[in-house]
Amino acid sequence: MIEVNNVSKRFLITKSLDNCSIKLETGKIIGIIGENGSGKTTLLKLLSGLLRPSSGDVLIDSEKVTRRISSKLAYLTDADYYFPYFTIEELIRYYESQFADFDTEKALQIIDFMKLKLEQKIKYLSKGNRNRLKIAVTLSRNAPYILLDEPFSGLDPLVRKAILKGMIQFVDLSTQTVLITTHEIKEVEPILDEVVLLRDGRVLVKQSVEEIREAYGLDIVSWMEKVYEKGDI
């Protein structure tokens, strides 16, 4: 379980998260949604141990999060961070050497699914193909928690749909939990179990997607707009 207890995060005079508390159960695909600047990326960085909270506690499986949490958490950032002189095959071997839970067989399957070639050098890949590669190596870890920050940036709609199908194929929700931040909410909605809505660094609400549809008869974007308008629904 992921627990965020009264967490705030400041950057100089700017408060990115403001006294946030939330519990996220395992075995689900959870969307972290909200307008730009709402604190989505900051939340993921706190969960991954890349940032420390200014106050409050972040716990994963009752363990206080530090950089060592990477042993059980795979994090895809929206930044490019690969060695450009590597080929895709060399990157796979590198990940294999760094993470005990890296599944090389799965990686090769996902690389093929993504229509990438092992001999391609990373520096010559288009932005879209670099994003495919980032998704591939992240999903190839059999980590209990997978965090994806804007994984579909730079991908055209047809590719996004294909990758969403791949995510269902290559993630095992009996042992893994996935958190996604994305602006492509309508496309991601079919695979989400829950959403956490942020605004101005605060958690407004956490709700299951099924409850949103049944109780309000709305899709997630329409529901989000109504919550933003009224502060509740």
pLDDT tens readout for residues 111-127: 999 889 999 999 898 88
Element (H, E) at 96: helix 88-98
pTM for this model (two decimals)? 0.89
pLDDT computed for residue 143 by the predictor: 94
Which of these, 74, 86, 89, lies nearest to 172 by C-alpha position? 74
Q: Order of strands across the sheet with 29-33?
A: 73-76, 145-149, 177-181, 29-33, 194-199, 202-208
pLDDT computed for residue 162 by the predictor: 78
Element (H, E) at 168: helix 157-170
Q: Where are the domains of the chain?
A: 2-230
Q: Does domain 2-230 have CATH number 3.40.50.2000?
A: no
pLDDT tens readout for residues 153-180: 777 777 787 788 777 888 888 899 999 9
pLDDT tens readout for residues 69-127: 888 999 998 776 677 789 999 999 999 999 999 999 999 999 999 889 999 999 898 88
